[in-house]
Homo-oligomer: A and B are copies of this chain.
Amino acid sequence: MSDQGAAARLEQLRALAQAEDLRPFLRRAIQLHPSDLAEVLAAIDGGARARALAELPVETASKALAELEGRVRHPEELLRAVGPDYVAELVAELPSDDAAAIIRDLPPEEREAVLSEVADRAEVDQILKFPEDSAGGLMTTEVVTVHEHASLVEAIADIRRQSAEDDALYQVYAVDGARRLKGVVPIARLIVASPSRRVHEVMEPPAAAVRPEVDQEQVARLMARYNVAAVPVVDERNRLLGRVTFDDVVDVVEAEATEDLLKFASVSPEEDLSAPWTAAVKSRLPWLYVNLLTAFLAGAVVYVFQGTVSRVVALAVWMPIIAGMGGNAGTQALAVTVRRLALQLLPRDRALAVIRKEVLVGAVNGIANGVAVALVAAAIGEGWVLGLVVLLAMWGNLVVAGLAGASIPIVLERLSIDPAIASSIFVTTFTDVCGFVLLLGLGAWLLL
């Protein structure tokens, strides 16, 4: 379908979902893919959304609810509209990971009311024990297991018993009598292999089993590395707890990319991209104040050199050029280093080599730009001594930029501080201060 067609259809369904008479909407909604229905529901206001979810058949409503993002899901609104019993009924329809995600979004005082109505409460509690962004918090506890010594005929009969309609069943897990994970059987093998073979003959060693505490980014990286659509989660005695599927992880990787870019630009990662202006002010103003404090440092350097600036006012013209170039070069080095740290491409014993490389890049780029500014200074008749001052200041500042851009995030990481957040404020403070000290200090020495 063309994008225009999709947009028009969305608009039409949106209107129907807000109409007085909901029946035309309900008739069409039950034919939609849950993700498409969720898109329609996300585009209408909270009251209409709660009403539509209350009127839809439980099976349709629960799937759509699971596809809604936390931000627009607003289970409180739904709670108010339909009460905890109905919310529990919706939650009960869902796999345990989706159920846990919805319950996590509930206000704490309402959680118990819903949880007490959920039939497989133990499974949901199991997931709620772990942080939202860990393998344990993302996993579903509905896994299909077969005994390692069963024949494939027995295994297939067993799978039929356990899984009514799980389209996301990519692999089944071979376990022993104590539910310890012994191997992984890609589901396709059950069809292709001869039915007389046994599970342990066709299973593979679990390439990428994880403990529930493992971070979601690590899980994503394992899936990409071993090309597996699901990763089993096991406890400290290797007993199978659940599995994380790739679809949870693609969302994770996109969300982390957004977070990393926002942090890099000194925006709190909690700022929702569609947040209202009040939330944006709240997320950004603290960082602007941090930046203001550091900017006073740069101002203080100029304050110290006021006498020099008032006698050689041409230096004021070069201030933003030297500082701006240092900031830009520092940000370049910073971005490369932050990304290497995020992708775990920077082993500890390579840190010094990376800093050395960035200093070298800064020195070479500093010469190239220093000569350029010296030529411009000469061309506009500011004399060769001022030309030499701007050359040296530019060169020195780009060396400092490489040094600060590479080492600040590495040091922050060693101190267990997230190297992405606000690094850029510190790097630009460094280059501002050093740039002014070099420019105005050299100016005071050579020009006065």
Residue positions of A touching B, CB distance < 8 A = 33, 35, 156, 159-160, 163-170, 186-192, 204, 207, 220, 223-229, 245-247, 249-251, 253-254, 256-258, 260-262, 264-267, 271, 273-274, 276-277, 280-281, 284-285, 287-289, 291-292, 295-296, 298-300, 302-303, 306, 309-310, 313-314, 316-321, 323-325, 327-329, 331-332, 334-336, 338-340, 343, 345, 357-358, 360-361, 364-365, 368-369, 372-373, 376, 424-425, 428, 432, 436
| Chain B residues within 8 Å of A159, by CB | 191-192
The answer to whether B262 and A339 have CB atoms under 8 Å apart is: yes
Cross-interface CB contact of A361 among B186, B188, B281, cutoff 8 Å:
B281
* A257 CB, min distance to chain B CBs, angstroms: 3
Q: How many Å lie between the Cα of A257 and that of B338 in the bound state?
A: 12
Given the known inter-chain contacts A280-B357, A324-B291, please indicate yes or no for A285 contacting B368, CB distance below 8 A.
Answer: yes
The answer to whether A261 and B260 have CB atoms under 8 Å apart is: yes
A-B contact pairs, 6 of them (CB 8 A): A167-B189, A280-B336, A280-B361, A288-B332, A292-B325, A328-B425
Given the known inter-chain contacts A192-B159, A321-B296, A361-B280, please indicate yes or no for A274 contacting B313, CB distance below 8 A.
Answer: no
| Chain B residues within 8 Å of A287, by CB | 328, 332
Task: Report, nearest first, the 4 A-B pairs whose CB atoms are least far apart.
Answer: A265-B335, A257-B257, A169-B188, A167-B186
Q: Which residue of B lies closest to A33 (CB)?
A: B207
The answer to whether B289 and A320 have CB atoms under 8 Å apart is: no
Q: How many Å lie between the Cα of A156 and that of B188 in the bound state?
A: 10
The answer to whether B223 and A357 have CB atoms under 8 Å apart is: no
Q: How many Å lie between the Cα of A376 and that of B167 in the bound state?
A: 64
Q: Which residue of B lies closest to A354 (CB)?
A: B274
Cross-interface CB contact of A253 among B257, B274, B327, B360, cutoff 8 Å:
B257
Given the known inter-chain contacts A295-B324, A317-B303, please indicate yes or no for A250 contacting B246, CB distance below 8 A.
Answer: yes
Q: How many Å lie between the Cα of A224 and that of B373 in the bound state?
A: 49
The answer to whether A332 and B267 have CB atoms under 8 Å apart is: yes
| Chain B residues within 8 Å of A324, by CB | 291, 295, 298, 428, 432
* A253 CB, min distance to chain B CBs, angstroms: 5
The answer to whether A345 and B302 have CB atoms under 8 Å apart is: no
The answer to whether A261 and B188 have CB atoms under 8 Å apart is: no
